[in-house]
Structure 1
Amino acid sequence: MARPNEEVEGLLQEYADLIAITGGDAFKARAYEKAARAIGGHPVDISRLDAEGLREIPHVGRSIADKVVEYLRTGSVSAVEERRSKIPAGVRALTAIPTLGPKKALRLYEDLHISSVDELAAAIEADALHDLKGFGAKTQENILHGITLLRQAGGRIPLHVAMRDAEDIVGELSAVKGCRRCAYAGSLRRMRETIGDIDVLVAAARSGPFMDALAGLPSTAEVIAHGAKKTSVRTAQGIQVDLRVLPPDSWGAGLVYFTGSKAHNIRIRTIAVRQGLKLSEYGLFDAESEESVASRTEEDVYERLGLPWIPPTLREDRGEIEAALGGELPEVVTERDIRGDLHTHTDLTDGLASLETMVQAAAERGYAYFAVTDHAPGLAMQRMTDEKILAQREQVRALDGVHRGMRLLHGTELNIGPKGEVDWPDEFLAGFDLCVASVHSHFDLGRAAMTRRFVRVCENPHIQIIGHPTTRLVGKRPPVDADWDEVFAACARTGTALEVNAQPDRLDLCDEEILRAREYGVKFAVNTDAHCVPHLACLRFGVGTAQRGWLTAKDVVNTWPLSRLRRFLRKGGA
């Protein structure tokens, strides 16, 4: 159930795309893109604001504010509907393909009457685009790869979208009379980066009130199945939600069963069978007498099987059973362990909030320290200068310790050039408390060149963290091609941390790469890359990904006390 801010963000972004598709003013399209980002990142619910209040949001002028008010009042915007009517729905669908922009989508429709993803794929395979200007072999190859990414994503739901809807539903059902327990389960509880559907469990004596409540929620667009044991609905956003109501005494067994994964469940059921037991969603039973031996809590079920409780994020049959049996299960990092965020932005570059606002919000999260790392001048559109960053440093020093004693670190996010070079010279970099270095361009370098690029950055004594290392965007952009084993070895050798970027469209490094890097002894930083106050709350997604990669607090540098972190930031001094 999207919040008003997110609904309007999507609407304004669509309007910007429609302007671009129809050949409208590029400046106007960019203005709507900026306004969309600003509204999406605004900490206050915009449905509570009038036009005047909306105009106080950065990049929201009178015309945009009026459209937002119109949408909040009527559910639509006449200007958007007018633009939509001029563009076939298929053309808008084409713009969902990574690497295919709106202008190219319109040309495909006008010149070749292509209005679907399948038609475009078939046209490329048939070499029907060879005479179309701007669609050379490399462009077609990129489009085909984008189509592959789009199809792989299929009906998968981004983690943060599924989490938002699941928590809303859990909140609604928890308020129904007779609810003893309510929680989401499945791959969402395991914090996978995308979700097929949402599993919700309720512990109650009677199922009917909860099945009826789910079917009657305002967010429910369609009831797929309605029964005493299971009800399935589809939300207005197209997400399937499956609800099961369990007897309160079966809560623990049901949570184990429906959290999964399938492979993990097979392993623990095998252990149960070897012990003469049978495991189902209703409990762990003696196979002969069918007497329940454990069911009320997950801990009870695992303990009866001879296992410690296994965190949901580890339940993927990637060695967690063996580790548990051997007493080597990691105590994975938690949100409570994180003492500070080491990668954030302000409105000095592409952030949406002032330095003071970001610092105050970080202090309210209880952080012991907080780093501000605005972009360096290599990203020309941010118009960073030496003078601007040094002036910000003075502001940071003045705010250090002011908010609840939180210590501030002044950093920067550098751009890793194609040969591993960065924006500022060594003598200038030496003045920062920390430097995050990230790839923002030249994604298509060959494997050897890309590997050298990362290794050279690791060897820079002023760079302590590699930001969003593989550059991937979930379902939209693949990781860059590098010899990651060589990169991980270089990180371990030089004392350079790899970021687990918590932005839900990144989650980079992903869990599988974290597992590989961990074997080399690499250290990590779980950061939000926040560009506005609401982004700070994305930390949970980074922590979930870190857990899936088996990371403990010892592996994550921003769980350490500031004194130890400062030694680490001196590159290898931890």
Structure 2
Amino acid sequence: MARPNEEVEALLNEYADLLSITGGDAFKARAYEKAARAIGGYPEDISRLDDKGLREIPNVGKSIADKVAEFLRTGHMKVLDERRTAIPAGVRELITIPTLGPKKAMQLHQELGIASVDALVKAIEGDELRGLKGFGPKTADNILHGVELMQQAGDRILLSAATDIAEETVAALREATGCDPEHCVYAGSLRRMRETIGDIDLLVAAEDPVPVMDAFIALPHTAEVIAHGEKKTSVRTVKGLQLDLRVLPPASFGAGLQYFTGSQAHNIRTREIAVRKGLKLSEYGLFHAKSGRRKAAATEEEVYAALGLPWIPPTLREDRGEVAAGLAGDLPRLVTEGDLRGDLHTHTDLTDGLSSLEDMVATAAARGYAYYAVTDHAPKLSMQRMTDEKILAQRERLRALAGRYKKLRLLHGTELNIGPDGEVDWPGEFLAGFDLCVASIHSHFTLDRAAQTRRLIRACENPYVAVIGHPTTRQIGRRPPIDADLDAVFAACARTGTALEVNSHPHRLDLNDELILRARHHGAVFAIDSDAHSTTHLAHTRYGVGTAQRGWLTPDEVINTWTWQRLKSFLARKRKSA
């Protein structure tokens, strides 16, 4: 069910890894990685492009375009199949460990004969890596943490991938059955916007469930029917994801939606209230316990109201105080995507983005933003080859574009690199020329806790740093967060007037919901940014907003919901200390 772009992106990344394992040309591996990113972020469906169209994608030359065309035509990429055959399956398994890497995986296989994750864990626990070059105690600990991350992820997929599959399935069911769109939806942890999803729960209201269930198992992505009944049908897709469909009578739909959205802990709280009121709550409705007479069921709103509660947004339903807040009338007005007036962290093809400055600005304008910041990488991220001259030339191009967009204020910014001592790329007199600066950690992820804490706090104290980007640096299932005293960092952000980013990229969602809750207690403010590297990525803010809602954020706590005048004052206040 993944878009062809995403399938090809994964294959090209795998090929780049396999090239690295076998000691292949590093430049060639890097070229495949760049092509993978370009294809993954390309706005058009690549399966509809001819050879010429494929070669027009940035970083995709003739050789790579031919391999992509071969896969789209046959479902296979010969060179990838050959590499897979040439490299032991166990080594390919090792490179899935987030903290390991292809070269170290091959070294372990060649020098110690390790060819599985289990064998690697046993070797570390048996101290068999002692003396192996590049595998000190800290590396071993990082590998074990990577194995833990991989095992935690299991068969779970990212929120964005699950959303795509669920929305496609719901649309297909609506078309096949003609059911009311409001009565054909997804529920479960996906509706609660959890960052990873194990399986997808779907809910349909229908008097006759048989046609709906038959249409469901007939959908093109179905590879296996796990169970087929009138109340519940489960299928496994061609990608191995389980989808569970339940059909309820229309009169019970609201109760069913509340029940199957969960979480389990939230449902226990609501059932406790029902019991205290002499009621019984189930997926079929809210009933009087003695008479069995139904009190509420058709909509979630009437079910919650009958319990003495306001409707509780799905993103809050995790038993983290939302029921008590509802009973007290203290539920927050959560930030929504419609509240966002701008995006403060985006990239163009001047550094590692895939789209031009002009295209990114045009897409931002089409989203109805009031302001929009371009924040390409600064020089210390050396692979991006930024220079003073390049960034200043971009500033002139951006200023020239401003005349075309009367309703969109264009901001010239940069994403600075927070060095190991907390220093950033440019001196203050140069930073003063930017409208705003985001500062992020891009290296030295394994520094000790005290050092990581110091570098982040020092960055917060820089008068030109307005936002700390992806504060923990984690990538879901790929890279663990840095070890830092985040409460000290949150307090420093509140003290210095520095915003914490909720990075909306589906692989990051950083800060996550639990850390947002902690940062709020320190009085910090936040920025929900896309970190877009292509025009299609600007829409990632939906996932950042979902994460922010799970952290109970209101519009007043998110600086890019503010008017330009208020945001401008916020930025200016900090610079006064320079």
Q: TM-score, normalised by structure 2?
A: 0.97
Inter-partner Cα distance in structure 2 for 1:15 and 1:420: 36
Q: Secondary structure at the match of 2:203?
A: strand
The residue that corresponds to 1:456 in the other structure is 458
Runs of 4+ with >6 A deviation: none
Aligned to 1:54: 54
Would you say 1:482 and 2:484 are equivalent positions?
yes
Deviation per CA, 1:132-155: give whole Å up to 9, x if none: 333333322221121111112222
Assess if the C-alpha contact under 8 Å between 2:464 and 2:575 holds in 1: no
Of the candidates 306, 309, 312, which is equivalent to residue 307 of structure 1?
309
Tell me what 1:316 maps to.
318
C-alpha distance in 2 between matches for 1:20 and 1:62: 21
Decide which moves more: 310-319 or 178-187. Answer: 178-187
Equivalent residue number for residue 355 of structure 2: 353
What whole-Å deviation, never above 9, does each CA across 1:153-210 have from its counterpart, x for those lacking one? 2222211111111111111111122523111101110001111211010111111122
Q: Which amino acid aligns with 1:176?
A: A
The equivalent residue for 2:37 is 37
Q: What letter corresponds to residue 511 of structure 1 in structure 2?
A: D
Give the drift of 1:273: 0.8
Moved more, 495-504 or 205-214: 205-214
Which consecutive unaligned segments of at least 5 residues does structure 1 have? Answer: none
Deviations 1:33-78 (A, max 9, x none): 1111101111111111101111111111111111111111111111
Q: Distance in 2 between matches of 1:431 and 1:6?
A: 38
Correspondence for 1:66: 66
Alignment of 1:443 with 2:445, yes or no, is: yes
**1:146 matched to which residue of 2?**
146
Report if the CA contact (8 A) 2:468-2:501 is conserved. Answer: yes
> Of the candidates 424, 427, 430, which is equivalent to residue 429 of structure 2?
427
CA distance in 2 between partners of 1:131 and 1:385 (Å): 41
Confirm or deny that 1:537 pairs with 2:549.
Answer: no
**Amino acid in the other structure paired with 1:50:** D
CA distance in 2 between partners of 1:355 and 1:157 (Å):
32
- The alignment partner of 2:465 has SS state of coil
Match in the other structure for 2:231: 229
Aligned residue for 1:293, secondary structure, equals strand
**What letter matches 2:364 in structure 1?**
A
> Helix, strand or coil for the counterpart of 1:245?
strand
Deviation at 1:442, TM superposition (A): 1.5
CA contact (8 A) 2:453 2:488 kept: yes
**In the aligned structure 2, how far is the partner of 1:508 from the partner of 1:112?**
37
Correspondence list, 1:410-421, <5 A: 410-421=412-423
Normalising by structure 1, what TM-score? Answer: 0.98
Could you tell me how far 1:573 is from its partner in structure 2? 9.1
Partner of 1:370: 372
Alignment length, in residue pairs? 574
Q: Deviation of residue 461 (structure 1)?
A: 1.2
Following the alignment from structure 1 to structure 2, what is the Cα–Cα distance between the partners of residues 417 and 491? 18
Cα RMSD between the aligned structures? Answer: 1.4
**Separation of aligned partners in 1, 2:107 and 2:484:** 35
1:83 deviates by 1.4
CA contact (8 A) 1:420 1:453 kept: yes
Residue from 463, 470, 473 that aligns with 1:471: 473
Residue aligning to 1:393:
395
Preserved contact between residue 166 and residue 200 of structure 2 (Cα < 8 Å): yes
> Which residue of structure 2 aligns with residue 279 of structure 1?
281
Change in Cα spacing, 1:404 to 1:257, as seen in structure 2 (3 Å) is farther
Task: For residue 536 of structure 1, report the CA deviation from its aligned partner.
Answer: 0.8
Cα deviation, 1:363-386, whole Å, max 9, x if unaligned, reads 111111110000111111111111
Out of 175-184 and 392-401, give the one that drifted further.
175-184
Q: Quick one: which amino acid aligns to residue 550 of structure 2?
A: R
Which whole-Å deviations, capped at 9, do the CAs of 1:484-527 have from their partners, x for residues lacking one?
A: 22211111111110000001111111111101111121110000
Shift of 1:404: 5.7
Secondary structure of 1:170 counterpart: helix
Name the aligned partner's letter for residue 543 of structure 2.
F
Question: In the aligned structure 2, how far is the partner of 1:401 from the partner of 1:216?
Answer: 53
Residue 247 of structure 2 aligns with which residue? 245
Within the alignment, does 1:294 sit opposite 2:270 as a pair? no
Letter in 2 for 1:410: H
CA deviations on 1:199-254 (whole Å, 9 max, x unpaired) are: 01011111112222222222111111111111111112211111101111111101
Correspondence list, 1:500-515, <5 A = 500-515=502-517
Give me the whole-angstrom Cα distance separating, in 2, the residues matched to 1:70 and 1:414: 40
In structure 2, relative to structure 1, the CA distance for the partners of 1:41 and 1:107 (3 Å cut) is: same
Query: Counterpart in 1 of 2:167?
Result: 167
Q: Give the percent of matched residue pairs that are identical in Structure 1 and Structure 2.
A: 70
CA distance in 1, matches of 2:480, 2:24: 30
Match of 2:93 in 1: 93
Q: CA 1:285/1:215 → structure 2, altered by over 3 Å: closer, same or farther?
A: same
- Is contact 2:222–2:235 with CA below 8 Å preserved after alignment? yes
State the 1:424 CA deviation: 0.5
Q: What residue in structure 2 maps to residue 16 of structure 1? A: 16
Distance 1:459 1:132 in 2: 41
Aligned-partner Cα distance in 1 for 2:487–2:198: 31
Equivalent in 183, 199, 204 of residue 202 of structure 1: 204
- Equivalent of 2:272 in 270, 284, 291: 270
Residue pair 2:466, 2:498 contacting (<8 A) in 1 also: yes
Give the C-alpha shift of residue 542 in structure 1: 0.2
Q: Assess if the C-alpha contact under 8 Å between 1:178 and 1:204 holds in 2.
A: no
Change (3 A) 1:222 1:404: farther
The code of the aligned residue for 2:172 comes to E
Between the aligned partners of 1:60 and 1:330, the Cα distance in structure 2 is 47
Q: Amino acid of the residue matched to residue 347 of structure 1? A: D
2:478, 2:307 → 1: CA distance? 42
Moved more, 295-304 or 176-185: 176-185
Q: Is the 8 A contact 2:177 2:215 kept in 1?
A: no
Which residue of structure 1 lines up, in the alignment, with residue 104 of structure 2?
104
**DSSP 3-state at the match of 1:192:** coil
Structure 2 equivalent of residue 27 of structure 1? 27
Equivalent position amino acid for 1:535 in 2 = H
Bigger drift between 397-406 and 197-206 goes to: 397-406
Larger deviation, residues 398-407 vs 253-262: 398-407
Report the Cα distance in structure 2 between the residues aligned to 1:255 and 1:400, rounded to whole angstroms. Answer: 47
Contact preservation (8 Å) 1:401, 1:407: no
Aligned mates of 2:370, 2:252 — CA distance in 1:
41
In structure 1, what is the Cα distance between the partners aligned to 2:17 and 2:217? 35
1:123 maps to which residue?
123
Distance 1:473-1:244 versus aligned 2 partners, 3 A rule: same
Please name the residue that 1:494 is paired with. Answer: 496
The CA distance in 2 between the partners of 1:210 and 1:177, in whole Å, is 6
